[in-house]
Chains A and B, each alone.
Chain A
Amino acid sequence: MSDTTSGITTDTDPAGSPERTVPATARCVVIGAGIVGNCLVGHLSRLGWTDMVLLDKGPLPNPGGSTGHASNFIFPTDHTKEMALLTLESQRQYVELGMNSTCGGIEVARDEDRLEEFRRRMTSATAWDIESRLLTPAEIKELVPFINEEIVLGGFYTPSVSVVDSLQTGTLMRQEAIDAGALSVFATTEVLDLEVEDGTIRAVVTDKGRIEAEHVVIACGVWSPRIAAMAGANIPLTPAVHQMADVGPIDVLAQTNKEVAYPIVRDMDTFCYERQSAGSMEVGSYAHRPIFHHPDDIPSNEASALSPTELPFTADDFDDQMEQAIDLMDMLGDAEIKYAINGLLSLTPDAMPVLGETVEVRNLWSAAAVWIKEGPGIARLVAEWMTYGYPQVCDPHSSDIARFYPHEKTEHHIYARCAEHFNKTYGIVHPREQWASQRGMRRSPFYGREEALGAVFFDARGWERPQWYESNADLMDRYPGRCEPRPHEWDARWWSPITNAEHLHLREHVGMVDLTAFNEFDFEGVGVVDYLQRMTVNNVDVPVGRSVYTPLLTPNGGFRGDLTIMRLGATHYRVVTGAFDGARDAYWFGRHLPDDGSVTFTDRTSGICTIGVWGPRAEAVLAKIVTGPSQAYDVSQAGFPYGAVRDVLIDGVPCTMFRISYVGENGWEVYTSTEHGLRVWDTIWEAGQDHDIRPIGIGVYAVTGRIEKGYRLMGAELESEYDPVEAGLARPKVKSAEFIGKKAYLAAREAEPVATLCTLQMLDHAGADGTPRYPTGGNEPILTVDGERIVDAHGRVSRVTTAGTAPSLDAYLLLAYLPPEHAVEGTELRVMYMNELFPVTVARVGSQPLFDPDDKRMKS
């Protein structure tokens, strides 16, 4: 729909004077003057950017986006590191600007399950150093005298919960850039088009003129997809309704004479909150049915009764929440509903923001799907990203716009996933929780076989991967005492003891693992060696038929990727990387391709399927079926050494075999064309029957096998906050070729590491009530024996990055970075899990595996 401005302006800011025309050129145009756009121009200005233009189609200071109607409160505790750090950084900025009013906040429980979640929140609060405590109903009543304490079981109280003034914060940050002479602002200025030339953003066309720009940032909140589409880019989010009603006046609130005097109450089990707003109470809900609007169907400022993002309240959707709110605070029942809206906010398919350079258009940036609580922090992150080539405030792994695969950017996917997670906004979400919607999007050729074998499928970015196989349940009897169920339901959720049995079977016999979710990228051309040398830490100029395991670094030396590269020919390499990072890696490689055409990049993921065949009998199994073009083939270590890559035939089918292992066993990754896959699976399966070959799930591949070997995982141990020296992945020598992050890498090698990745072993699993507990590996803090947090010299907290059973060691292991004084083998520490402390010991400092430390099994 057309959204033309009427020429009638309600603008009081001289920046919005309608007769002003925009400048013809700018270094950077930021579209959207909400919390993100305003803070972004402020941060860019601090980082030295000048010649910037900020546009908004609405008037200032409140142009009518989601910032203008936000409830503006911050509960800082989050289970994910990225969101917790961005929220804390944002709160720090609000404090710095004097825009933060601390009021405290209490999450209250009505259900028993929630109390367990509060113990988990206490654990995360400890990890991020957020003072919090659990409250009894009587203690809640003391802080919130008007609450009905009889229906709550307990509370999670955070004194630092605050309310912020997001509009004024935006105004101050914008003004800072204006005062620095770095910014001109145009309100009531509508973007009509984005011009793209050779895949690079060229200009912004507005109703007040055209601006040629080097960089353009879309910070348009719920309108972002619509603006991105003008450039042929995709920002996958949907405007969604969050209902909010303001009820009052209420004497007990009015008498405080404050905007907010009482702690904000989150009624977690009804997915609602009650937040004082001067003399009245705002009741907000995430409990109603998911209500989505298309960005093209949001009314203009002029056609809106309130504002474009304050849509008419659909009262029927709120009635249940009213009853629940009155149950919790009876006084709300007699207060008048003065203002109620269906407020629009942005939802994404995975509930994380959408940040970074768009994959479609160079120098066109997205800073979208951001809420008030994380806005200023994200503005800083994006500003750093634009300035330094990568953010420094934290790893943007889960927010990176490049993370999405094509099927994840469709409206179909966005609506399905957002509908699924909307009611989980206040939900209890398990770290291993699986999506129910949009399943079966990508299936390997072996899917039917796996299904028949009782595979329990987990989602890996659309791929269906067997996590374990029910058909392997019989194996548990062979390993008595080593495949015990976990007594606590939370620890056992999305997990099976069959994984332990599969693991032990693999170590004694042989198994096959479906690895089709791997991404394979082929790079070819005369410039390929120089190009890949520039991208990687380790030397890729190896003989044809050899492979390299290597990190990719950010410009300041942190992990940007972690993958394997095979040299298939003199000018032909194949990169293999995981499903969870494939799309981000594809972007990173593509963004750095030389402009001269000397290297081509082909994503071969869909054309290739992969089976891992590992175990002491793997060689025997494959020896029966692998041949060369016309004769038998030597698959012994002598003929086909570890790390080698060979083209072979398996029962006549062309395959590429790669002798490598992520589980620490002798064997191969076997690659073949997708259409050959089923035949190869069946051939290996038949050949393996004499050796009791079993299908093995990702539970072994990604957790138990990996952790016994201390193998690091991108996104868990390997993040941009850490470098290869700290992760124990620095090689003895540094290649002479230049590469991204080299300077920082060399510096890190010279310095003493301030943290080292260690493997810890749990010494006792018994919780306070005697129930054995098994940490899930979700950022549980590592503490001293006195319960003190451990923080390294760079301010990074020691926390669990991966946790899992090590069945072959009869141990439960945790990976965590520790500063030098604690990174000493044999040191006893504590891990906090569900607000209890469990004893652990440092079993290994650095990357040497606990299981088979000399890698004899893989290499002999």
Chain B
Amino acid sequence: MRILVCVKRVPAPGARINLTADAQAIDTAHLGFTTSPHEECAVEAAVQLVEGHGGEATVLTLGPVEAEEQLRYAVSVGMTAAVLLPIDGADWDPQRTAAAITEVVRRLEAADGPFDLILFGNESADAGNFQVGIRVAHALGRPMVNGAKGIAISEGAVHVRREADAGQETYELPLPAAVGVKEGINLPRYPTMKGRLASKRVEVERMEPDAETGGLRMVRLQRPAERASTTVILGRGPDAAPAVVDLLDELGVLA
């Protein structure tokens, strides 16, 4: 099998997210970076599929050159090749991102053959536009299901399971196909030391992205008002029990 996983480098913030002075980005001065959680699960899913079915799994990102860190991380947990589409400055809008990825996928497939499966995260952890995956799949003319909580391959098809309000939905998509993976589908492994060291030796292929700017514009980011909370001490020790019962009653959780 040949699998492609598209990921995005995003900040790893604490409880409070600080913005830059111009409100155009998250202040990352003290932050590390990570891969969007849905995409970490997509990587894990790809690694498991290749472990089960053989083949190769390529990880791709469009982002700053520092995103090589996320590509190597994916290799350190089992991806076999990495492609970086380097951009300068701020994020590209989803339309442009999707167009650039589509074009690169075509080039990669022209050189080495088609990908049986292209995996995306359900949405990115920072922008959350929910667009890139479906745009790429549409441009490539491939079927796609988002929100995947289960993936299996058999007889030239991918079987995707996702959770609905009441029950589960199961899809069967003929390969080649695209799937948007949702966190919870698996528990991503940590890299081993040997995996980390191996990832240092992998050559990250760089391909220049090229696409027209799309229509979506961000005006600014705004921090939501902080939810102030107050602590009310109901009492100490056994004496607090009646007050706790009253509160639970008030909340309507007692039968």
Chain A contacts to B: CB under 8 angstroms = 6-9, 14, 17-19, 245, 247, 297-306, 311-313, 315, 319, 322-323, 325-326, 332-338
Residues of B within 8 A of A301 (CB): 14
Q: B12–A303 contact, CB under 8 A?
A: no
Query: Which of the residues A6, A305, A337 comes within 8 Å of B32, measured between beta carbons?
Result: A305
Q: B197–A8 contact, CB under 8 A?
A: no
Q: Does B154 interact with chain A (Cβ within 8 Å)?
A: no
Q: A7–B190 contact, CB under 8 A?
A: no
**Which chain B residue has the least Cβ–Cβ distance from A307?**
B14
Shortest CB-to-CB span from A327 to chain B, Å, is 11
Residues of A within 8 A of B191 (CB): 336-337
Q: Does B168 interact with chain A (Cβ within 8 Å)?
A: no
Q: Does B30 interact with chain A (Cβ within 8 Å)?
A: yes
Given A6-B16, A6-B226, answer yes or no on A319-B194 (Cβ-Cβ < 8 Å): no
Q: Does B114 interact with chain A (Cβ within 8 Å)?
A: no
Shortest CB-to-CB span from B233 to chain A, Å, is 7
A-B contact pairs, 30 of them (CB 8 A): A6-B15, A6-B226, A8-B15, A8-B228, A8-B229, A14-B233, A17-B231, A17-B233, A247-B193, A300-B16, A302-B14, A302-B16, A303-B15, A303-B30, A304-B14, A304-B30, A311-B32, A312-B32, A313-B32, A319-B197, A319-B200, A322-B193, A326-B194, A333-B193, A334-B192, A334-B193, A334-B194, A336-B192, A337-B192, A337-B193
CA distance A743 to B207 in the complex (A): 83
Residues of A within 8 A of B13 (CB): 303, 305
Shortest CB-to-CB span from B244 to chain A, Å, is 16
**Which chain B residue has the least Cβ–Cβ distance from A330?**
B194
Which residues B156-176 have CB closer than 8 A to chain A? none
Q: Does B216 interact with chain A (Cβ within 8 Å)?
A: no
Q: Does B107 interact with chain A (Cβ within 8 Å)?
A: no
Shortest CB-to-CB span from A463 to chain B, Å, is 40
Shortest CB-to-CB span from A301 to chain B, Å, is 8
Interchain residue pairs A-B with the least CB separation, the first 7? A312-B32, A336-B190, A302-B16, A333-B194, A299-B30, A304-B14, A322-B193
Q: A326–B193 contact, CB under 8 A?
A: yes
Residues of A within 8 A of B230 (CB): 7, 18-19
Q: B32–A332 contact, CB under 8 A?
A: no
Q: Does B80 interact with chain A (Cβ within 8 Å)?
A: no
Q: Does B255 interact with chain A (Cβ within 8 Å)?
A: no
Residues of B within 8 A of A17 (CB): 231, 233
Shortest CB-to-CB span from B70 to chain A, Å, is 11
Residues of B within 8 A of A7 (CB): 226, 228-230
Question: In terms of DSSP, what is the predominant structure of the interface of chain B?
Answer: loop
Q: Does B186 interact with chain A (Cβ within 8 Å)?
A: no
CA distance A280 to B30 in the complex (A): 28
Query: Which of the residues A302, A305, A313 comes within 8 Å of B31, measured between beta carbons?
Result: A305
**Which chain A residue has the least Cβ–Cβ distance from B72?**
A315
**Which chain A residue has the least Cβ–Cβ distance from B190?**
A336
CA distance A197 to B190 in the complex (A): 55
Q: B32–A303 contact, CB under 8 A?
A: no
**Which chain A residue has the least Cβ–Cβ distance from B229?**
A8
Q: Does B217 interact with chain A (Cβ within 8 Å)?
A: no
Residues of B within 8 A of A319 (CB): 196-197, 200
Q: Does B95 interact with chain A (Cβ within 8 Å)?
A: no
Residues of B within 8 A of A333 (CB): 192-194, 197
**Which chain A residue has the least Cβ–Cβ distance from B18?**
A303
**Which chain A residue has the least Cβ–Cβ distance from B69?**
A315
Q: A325–B16 contact, CB under 8 A?
A: no
Q: Does B29 interact with chain A (Cβ within 8 Å)?
A: yes
Q: B189–A336 contact, CB under 8 A?
A: yes
Given A299-B14, A337-B192, answer yes or no on A311-B231 (Cβ-Cβ < 8 Å): no
CA distance A415 to B233 in the complex (A): 47
Shortest CB-to-CB span from A239 to chain B, Å, is 12
Residues of B within 8 A of A8 (CB): 15, 226-229
